[in-house]
Amino acid sequence: MTPPHGHGDTAEHDRADLLPPGCQVGGWVVTELIGSGGWSSVYAARPADGPPGGTGEARTGRSSGPSDVALKIMPTAGLAPRQARRIVESARREVELGRRAGHPRLIGLRESFVLASPDRPSLEGAIVLVMERAAGSLRELVDTGVPEADRARLIAGICEGLSHLHRSGWVHADLKPENVLLGGDGSVKLSDFGLATELTGTHGYAPPMGTLDYLPPERWRAPLGELGVRVRPTADIWALGILIHEVFASGASPFPGATPMARGAAVQEYGEGRAPLRMDHAVPPFWRALIADCLAPTHAARAPHTAESLLARITAEQQTPGAGRLRGRARAAVLATALCGVAGATLYSDAVRASSPAQSGRTGATVGTVRVFNAERGCQDRVDRDRQCSLGLAIDPAQPYTAENVVPTRVWHGDVLTADCELPDGQPIIDEEDLRSTHWFRVHLPPGSTPPAAWLPAVRTRERPALPECPHPTAVR
């Protein structure tokens, strides 16, 4: 458990008044401390055998359920009025969401009450939330290494929880591995709804708090109004992208920096189009594409990628025979953003720019030129031919656009290629701007390349030369 953080990434107050094992709180007996933060402490607890003693309470009614629970205790004694109101509002959000948006992928709230504690004045008036007990958190798994076989299942579970939250009209607003809890059976449950925001239309308002490493670019510039800062479901989608990257990259963020503030500065540079998105090479192509969609730099660009649509893509990928190969619409988007990381790729030779019709081996054939277009704004102004900004050319445009169907030669934004024909009905491809096309251009590769030609999807150029239709079969090998 971690406290909510502001833009300084520090808690405002330290409430380290810890309870010893055996202490009774309401109808529960503390067994151990799970975690303590700036605003609350969480304890494992079991039902008291007899009537409460020592510590009294004003209860809202105890519910039945599994014997082990987690007690989240949020003290208010001694706080300034503004701080106390923040604690009360945070608890209200958790209770309200627990009452109205229950789901197997959300941690269950069993009861809540206000503590009357004459023998512990520091706990007098503390708010107690009684929640179902989890076996651990995703953060613990990330720190030790998430088993490869569990990654897709865990991420899908998070998407299920987010999808339900968003459909119910809520934004989590503090999604991170610490707030993804795991049951003893490995089930996923989202938790810590102290910053959860109820939507009124397309957005809601939340306190200017959160965990810096998971804030989207627009949040860093969001004005603070009377109701707080504006929050929308796309903020959760951004945090999901960071979380997925951490799962595959051993906890590493896709944004460089030694501190949360430094990483936040990198996020803002990316959001303003002054830096590309760089992912760890350990992230597989399918997940690179998913992360790229989650980490689209603006709210508008992320909006089409809902938790529900992301879950559908993951489910389809896992149901595909030989999961890991990319097919269909979700897989088609991959090469638009992520095949730049294919191992063993070679730099595209400047000889291609000067290629001539004679290279086709077809005397008198009609040829044209196409200039490569990369929709990633961060890659459009680069001149260093960074491999992460490179794009792949297909071997066969009628087959799924996967890493296995890409030639070793790479191209970059602005490269001019010679094309001799086009195919109007190849594999459908969708780029980062959701432009869809089934058109492909057959382009020539430098002399000596194997194969001698390859295929560029039409969404990767803004030029449409008048070319004859390519004959079938379409593969060039």
Task: Tell me the domain boundaries of the chain.
Answer: 24-132, 136-324, 350-460
Which of the 8 DSSP states describes residue 398? T
Task: Let me know: does 271 contact 202? Beta carbons within 8 Å.
Answer: no
pLDDT at position 97: 78
61, pLDDT greater than 80 = no
Each residue of 440-458: pLDDT tens digit?
A: 999 998 877 888 999 999 9
Mean pLDDT of 198-203: 81
Scanning the structure block, which residue is given the tokens 């004859």? Answer: 468
Query: What is the pLDDT of the chain when averaged over all its residues?
Result: 78
**CB of 128 closer than 8 Å to CB of 26:** yes
Residue type at position 327: R
Higher pLDDT, 55 or 395: 395
Assign domain 136-324 to a CATH class. mainly alpha
- For residues 335 and 292, is the Cβ–Cβ distance under 8 A? no
pLDDT attached to residue 420:
92
DSSP H/E element including 316: helix 307-319
Please say if the pLDDT value at position 233 is more than 80. yes
Rounded distance, CA 304 to CA 299, Å?
A: 9
Give the number of C-alpha atoms closer than 13 A to the C-alpha of residue 422, restricted to the C-beta side.
18
C-alpha closest to that of 389 among 249, 273, 257, 278? 278
On whether the 24-132 domain is CATH 3.30.200.20, my answer is yes
- Helix-strand-coil split of the chain, %, nearest 5: 30, 20, 45
Q: How confident is the model at residue 63 (pLDDT cuts 50, 70, 90)?
A: very low
Pairing between β-strand 440-444 and β-strand 416-423 as defined by DSSP bridges = antiparallel
Please give the pLDDT value at position 457.
92
Cα–Cα dist 155/313, whole Å: 12
User: Cα–Cα distances in Å, from 459 out to 90, 266, 343?
Assistant: 47, 29, 23
Which two tokens mark 450?
């194997």
DSSP per-residue codes, 257-312: -SSHHHHHHHHHHHHTTSS-----TTS-HHHHHHHHHHT-SSHHHHTTS-HHHHHH
Query: What pLDDT, in 10s, does the model give residues 110-169?
Result: 888 888 877 788 788 888 888 889 989 999 999 999 999 999 999 999 999 999 999 989
**Residues across the chain:** 477
